[in-house]
Amino acid sequence: MKNLETSSMEEPEKTGMIDTWLDKHSSIYTAATRHAFVVSIRDGSVDLSSFRTWLGQDYLFVRGFVPFVANVLIRAGKESGESSDMEVILGGLASLYDEIEWFKREGSKWNVDFSTIVPQKANQEYRRFLEALMSSEVKYAVIMTAFWAIEAVYQESFAHCLEDGNKTPAELTGACHRWGNDGFKKYCLSVKNIAERCLENASSEVLAEAENVLVRVLEHELAFWEMSRGGN
């Protein structure tokens, strides 16, 4: 089946697929990036037991996220056709090492003993979803879209806690800087550009799958914040 879009002589103005989808699904995108838990960090009203719950659960999530990113890295080496993809993903994977060390330091600071933490339902379901995405049947464009969305939700959320007018408590700014910093923003943009490039050449079936996966990620992120807010 020929892509009908390409039969038009006039090049339509280019808006990336991802931004088009975010527009279409803006309510779930906003729900995931401006969640009450995140807003409570920004306005200083955050319940510290929620923060501790988030910390422990996210530590477990990140440990499951490492093999996911490693899978993306392997695919970048084999399937991308663009050698710079690998460096972008490798940079992300490398920073997860520091991130795990950071989590351990925060764990002692907040008296959260990771060895006794059990993943809650939202966490388990998110990790199961990531495992399914690691199947070789999932196209590179689809996994890259998911990868971008996972990172972008944290970038958008924590950057919000650092924007003008924030009352983020000093002891929580470390977490906000980890994902809200400019370097992480640029990294997310690089991942987005990779995903967009793949989506440009994708079939309508792959596009539909990528859009669906993007929305699923947003739902999982939302459920993850909900779980954190709910406490232990």
Ligand X SMILES: Cc1ncc(CNC=O)c(N)n1
Told to check if 65 binds ligand X by CB under 6 A, we report yes
Report the nearest approach of ligand X to the CB of residue 1 (Å): 35
Active site residue 221: yes
> Which of 28, 31, 39, 62 contacts ligand X by CB under 6 A?
62
Report the nearest approach of ligand X to the CB of residue 232 (Å): 17
As a whole number of angstroms, the distance between CA 93 and CA 72 comes to 10
Q: How many chain residues are in contact with ligand X, going by CB under 6 A?
A: 10
As a whole number of angstroms, the distance between CA 41 and CA 3 comes to 46
Q: Which range in 38-46, 137-145, 147-155, 161-169 contacts ligand X by CB under 6 A? A: 147-155
Identify whether the C-beta of residue 198 lies closer than 8 Å to the C-beta of residue 75: no
Told to check if 58 binds ligand X by CB under 6 A, we report yes
Which residue of the chain is nearest ligand X when measured via CB? Answer: 154
Phi and psi of 8, rounded to 5°? -75, 140
Q: Locate 77 and state its tokens.
A: 């080496």
> Which of 146, 149, 150, 191 contacts ligand X by CB under 6 A?
150
As a whole number of angstroms, the distance between CA 53 and CA 120 comes to 10
Q: Which residues, at least 6 apart from 204, have a Cβ–Cβ distance to it below 8 Å?
A: 1, 3
Cβ neighbour number for residue 68 with a 10 Å cutoff: 19
Q: Which range in 3-11, 58-66, 71-79, 185-193 contacts ligand X by CB under 6 A? A: 58-66
Q: Would you tell me which residues interact with ligand X (CB under 6 A)?
A: 58, 61-62, 65, 99, 150-151, 154, 221, 224
